[in-house]
Structure 1
Amino acid sequence: MKYYWIVMWQILVLSTIVLSAQSTEGRYENVNVKQDWWETAVMYQIYPRSFMDSDGDGVGDLNGITSRLEYLKELGVDATLLSPIFKSPMHDFGYDVSDYYSIQPEYGTMEDFEQLLRKAGELNIKVILDFVPNHSSNESDWFIKSSNRDEYYSDWYIWENGHLNDRGQRSPPNNWISLFRKSAWTYMPSRDQYYFHQFGSSQPDFNFRNPVVVEEMKNIIKFWLEKGVAGMRVNSVNLFFEVDKDVYGGRYPNEPMTGKPNLGPDDYGFLEHVYTKDQEETYDMVSQFRDVFDAIAIRDNLTRIMMTEASTNIKNAVRYYGEGIHTGAHIPFNLALIADLDKDSDARDIKYAVDRWLTYKPLKKQANWVTGNHDKSRVASRFRPELVDAFNMLVLLLPGIAITYMGEEIGMVNGFVPWSETKDPQACNTDDPVNFIEVSRDPVRTPFQWSNGKNAGFSAADTTWLPVAEGFEQLNVAAQRSAVRSHYQVYRTLTNLRIRPAFRLGRFESLALNSDVYAFKRWFNDDTYIVVMNVGKVYHVVNLTAFDLIFGQLEVEASSVLSSRTYSDSVQANYLDLAADEALVLRMQV
């Protein structure tokens, strides 16, 4: 019996040695779990106006994007999301569409877009478009006809009579406020009525209670999917409907005040928006749109994804995944890492934001993660530059879909745009040359920094539509490409790591090891990783054996730029010293 156990022990040891000798790639060859192209994709949002200018007019364009697609491939990007490229008078830079079936001439032609699709297809990069169906431009033919009471278009927008006082002075129908401040109603003399606009006065809201409008929106989706795009992000979905005024005697009611301090009647936060957002009909409309995507996907045997964007609470947000009889979006945007975190957030806040989304979302639906966009401050400015790699680790290595706003991969910072050069209507509408910067979105839209050359390599023009951010001479793609260690190099390492089953398919567990150190574990079979980050400004020693089955030595797979550790260094699980701002991806040695 004793001899039997000795032999068995030798066999076990020999098997362990053989398994350990297998290459990492070899162990992954037998992992054959079918996933659709989008389910673990890396998506890269481009603000076309600021990415790359090909014709020297100071404005980014489609040919500029096409010329830089190899860069996206290099990064490990699977799909690019383009902010609106439709024809527009550009009062809100493309979010005020005058023709949904045409390309904005500044950006190029339909032929240019088709060339972009072809080149992206050759590189196996999907193209997704930003779609804004909540409102059009007030310069669209549809609105002009509606304002003139054209029989077909008359009811395409939200029209309402105002009030006249004893002195004959006209006032809006009620107290509703625009997201861009001031009244959400604008008087139209040609119709002698007010039209409703959730955003600027140049962006009148469609009437989604009109089935003809709904059918037109579906036709727009079909047009672009037929053109070859892989999907669309549907913007501001929770603003599609206002309360049904027939329930209130044919008049839209006033919204209640929030009572928040330091806000006036022109400020959006002055009111509780119970009648102008998150109406129940929205979820059925999203389901109807999803049916359009699915019909074409079934025909072509290729999933066309529907993404939704809504600034709302988490319970409403996760409803866009679908429930009951309603199908929902493939990807309802998760804004938790933007909305729930700021410069004062610590490791506990990060854990709460991550776990909350994973808890609320339907169990078998994919999560998604994003830390910035064309409206929100960049990571390097919202937190600090030293935490860029840590937040890219979150986006790329948490379970689900990763979405990166252009420039986050190199740690771009917000630019400074003075009042005299401010273009953002949200900032201009403050009428405040001092405090406008608090709401301006221009600083996160400054030109992409390709090199230390003229205009950061973005454009050959003498002036660009927004000024290039200061410090581009040092902070640019070319410099980071050639550096041994840079945010760009870390980002590429992370996109390569996320291909592994532990990140693509693996399970997840997280801990706030103290107020400064957040860590999470990803594992699949015997392949286990710990991602750990010190988001504080002081040194810490932590014990990673707080995670189950973590012990012994761990090997560094990736490290933040300022870390003293590099690839293949070993650390002790039970005693890990972390410098301020240090972030590591560690692999359990087996």
Structure 2
Amino acid sequence: MGFGKIIALAVSVGLVVCFVQGGPSKKEQKALEEKNNWWKNEVFYQIYPRSFQDNDGDGIGDLPGVTSRLEYLKETGITAIWMSPIFESPMVDFGYDISNYTNIHPEYGTLDDFDALIAKANELGIKVILDFVPNHSSDKHPWFAKSIAREDGYEDFYVWENGTLLENGTRVPPNNWRSVFSGSAWEWNDEREQYYLRQFTYAQPDLNYRNPAVVQAMDDTLQFWLNKGVAGFRIDAIIYIYEDIQQRDEPLSGTTSDPNSYDYLDHIYTKNQDEGYGLLQHWRQLLDNYSALNEGPLRIMMTEGYAPLTKLMDYYEDAQGVQGPQFPFNFDFITELNANSLAADFVFFIERWLIYMPRGHVANWVMGNHDNPRVASRFGAQSVDAMNMLMMTLPGIGVTYNGEELGMIDYRDISWEETVDQPACEAGIDNYKWISRDPERTPMQWSDEANAGFSNASATWLPVHPNYKELNLRNQQQAQRSHYKVYQSLLKLRQLSALKNGAFIPEVVNRRVFAFKREIKGQNTLLTIINVKNQTEQVDISDFIDLPNRLHVLVAGVDSEHRAGERLSPEAIALAPYEGLVIQLSKRK
């Protein structure tokens, strides 16, 4: 179905409903608002299925394992999950190289297992978002084999080029484009006798979205999983989906002299091409149309893309107001902020997103994911509670990577022999350790039992972090105070109207401390205050909180000397190093 037909169908359906039913009743209107707005204050919990829970004892996480842990998520307060790829794959890039978009990877289970997961999630009120990887397939996908053979209808399914044959008989790629994982972005295929574009590994050929058949194939894929009951998709690597049609050489960046490095070039022709917006708008229309014609929640789309801020804002909507994804991921807490950042840096990057975001849209805050060091490793283990307080009390959506609720840390001492991440393997034994993404992908630490309760296998696909005996969910559930219990209390707090709809008012208290209010006039205000440095602070915020007010602690961290319910004096709030507090302000009567 073409772009225009989708719009026309959605409009015609809306007209029929209005004609037959007339205006909606208040009850119907409320139900419609709940259907359409469910995602706007969500915490999306990212599950890396390979490392979440092994059910069949092979040392690899699987779908039945995820299903077995849904009760835990419900108890925690999670009502939406998104799972890293679960589709059939040779696992060169651990599921981001897909050989069948409509089947489950055998190590993870079957379609029946997926149906069981959806059924259990629905029973518990948990929505399921799938990772969708449209930029490339696996080189083992039947589409690629057909394209190599120039089979009718598949000749241009991928990006193929001849390259250049030099006088000395050497064949060189069409241009200087580099792979994200280093080296040329072009791979020679002997059978077809052409180069194919692969912006990632050799096993991930880029699909050609200028071919309408590719768009249709991906539309069909989305439709398949929508019919399976998913609530939406996280779109992977969207900034790479189109390249310059003239395939011009990219200019040198001037930042490195290594010609194999991805950073060697300024990627003006292989990233963030304007055609990507139109494709996402098309998929938004597809999801909106499906939601209009089917029961259940609005099906949503979120996108992954490390891009300049102004380009990210165009994902929300373009200059003409055409809607794209519900939100592009905001990675500022990963890319712009770290343990060296000052209080003003935090306020600057938070406000920057809110200022640039088009009116009427929803902010989001990504604290961690499977591609970057964990929160405790980036900001320090003492900062875990404060960073979760920050994310949970900002306006909009939070995104938590599994294990961050426990304060899990990277296992950076994984040996060369145990390393499986493809970029790390390609980097070699001398350089792998700081390139590898394996350290943040180690198995979930459920208990102090063998393999941290993740698996009863003799060995797991990645080693469990050795600290699991102390740092695990069971210990934290049994402890009087723990990272998990702080996280759980923050999720409950998000039901307050001040956090759902309150204004955001920040204040840089000093170089080390910042605070912000979430308030609705006439109601109690919430205050979050955070010390980002290794120095005890005593601060006076009386000018910031509109006295007279009573201050009571709602949430304090694991190592805090403060306690929930404790009354504070605004003239002298003591903050330990890296401490955060969530405080309620209520007018004196």
What is the TM-score when the length of structure 2 is the normalising length? Answer: 0.92
Q: Distance in 2 between matches of 1:224 and 1:418?
A: 38
In the alignment, structure 2 segments of 5+ residues that lack a partner are: 1-29
**397, 404, 424: which is aligned to 1:427?**
424
Matching of residues 46-61 of structure 1 within 5 Å: 46-61=47-62
Amino acid of the structure 2 residue aligned with 1:306? M
Matching of residues 382-461 of structure 1 within 5 Å: 382-416=378-412, 417-430=414-427, 432-461=428-457
Partner residue in 2 for 1:255: 250
Partner residue in 2 for 1:270: 264
Among all aligned residue pairs of Structure 1 and Structure 2, give the percentage whose two residues are the same amino acid: 46
Partner residue in 1 for 2:372: 376
Q: Distance in 2 between matches of 1:188 and 1:425?
A: 21
In the alignment, structure 1 segments of 5+ residues that lack a partner are: 1-30, 246-251
CA deviations 1:162-213 (Å, max 9, x no partner) are 2222221122111100001111000001111000011111000000100110
Partner residue in 1 for 2:131: 130
Task: Label 1:131 to 1:550 Cα distance change in 2 as closer, same or farther (>3 A).
Answer: farther
Q: Distance in 1 between matches of 2:505 and 2:66?
A: 38
Amino acid of the structure 2 residue aligned with 1:567? A
SS of aligned partner of 1:128:
strand
Q: In terms of mean alpha carbon deviation, does 474-483 or 538-547 score higher?
A: 538-547
1:548 deviates by 4.7
Partner residue in 2 for 1:209: 210
CA deviations 1:274-313 (Å, max 9, x no partner) are 1101111111111001111001111124300111111111
Q: Distance in 1 between matches of 2:393 and 2:87?
A: 33
Q: Distance in 2 between matches of 1:106 and 1:546?
A: 58
1:396 deviates by 1.1
Partner residue in 2 for 1:531: 528
Q: Distance in 1 between matches of 2:386 and 2:254?
A: 38
Partner residue in 2 for 1:582: 579
Asked if 2 retains the 8 angstrom alpha-carbon contact of 1:544 and 1:550, the reply is no
1:401 deviates by 0.9
Partner residue in 2 for 1:82: 83
Partner residue in 2 for 1:199: 200
Asked if 2 retains the 8 angstrom alpha-carbon contact of 1:51 and 1:448, the reply is yes
Q: Distance in 2 between matches of 1:548 and 1:356?
A: 23
Q: Distance in 2 between matches of 1:518 and 1:53?
A: 42
CA deviations 1:88-125 (Å, max 9, x no partner) are 00000000000001000000000000000000000000
1:550 deviates by 4.5
2:343 maps to 1:354:
no
Asked if 2 retains the 8 angstrom alpha-carbon contact of 1:284 and 1:326, the reply is no
Q: Distance in 2 between matches of 1:212 and 1:559?
A: 55
**318, 323, 333: which is aligned to 2:329?**
333
Q: Distance in 2 between matches of 1:229 and 1:565?
A: 42
Partner residue in 1 for 2:289: 295
Q: Distance in 2 between matches of 1:34 and 1:194?
A: 50
Q: Distance in 2 between matches of 1:445 and 1:548?
A: 42
Partner residue in 1 for 2:19: none
Q: In terms of mean alpha carbon deviation, does 331-340 or 489-498 score higher?
A: 331-340
Q: Distance in 1 between matches of 2:31 and 2:532?
A: 36
Partner residue in 1 for 2:561: 564
Amino acid of the structure 2 residue aligned with 1:513? V
Task: Label 1:465 to 1:32 Cα distance change in 2 as closer, same or farther (>3 A).
Answer: closer
1:145 deviates by 0.8
1:397 deviates by 1.0
Amino acid of the structure 2 residue aligned with 1:384? G
1:419 deviates by 1.4
**497, 501, 508: which is aligned to 2:493?**
497
Partner residue in 2 for 1:553: 550
SS of aligned partner of 1:419:
coil
1:551 deviates by 4.2
1:55 deviates by 0.5
SS of aligned partner of 2:67:
helix
CA deviations 1:495-548 (Å, max 9, x no partner) are 011100000111111112111112110112321011001111011111222325
1:436 deviates by 1.5
2:121 maps to 1:120:
yes
Partner residue in 2 for 1:313: 308
SS of aligned partner of 2:515:
strand
SS of aligned partner of 2:466:
coil
SS of aligned partner of 1:545:
coil
Asked if 2 retains the 8 angstrom alpha-carbon contact of 1:552 and 1:574, the reply is no
User: In angstroms, what is the RMSD of aligned CA positions?
Assistant: 1.4
Partner residue in 1 for 2:27: none
CA deviations 1:357-416 (Å, max 9, x no partner) are 111111210111111000011010111001001111111110001110000001000013
Q: Distance in 2 between matches of 1:190 and 1:542?
A: 70
Amino acid of the structure 2 residue aligned with 1:316? K
* Divergent runs of 4+, >4 A: 31-35
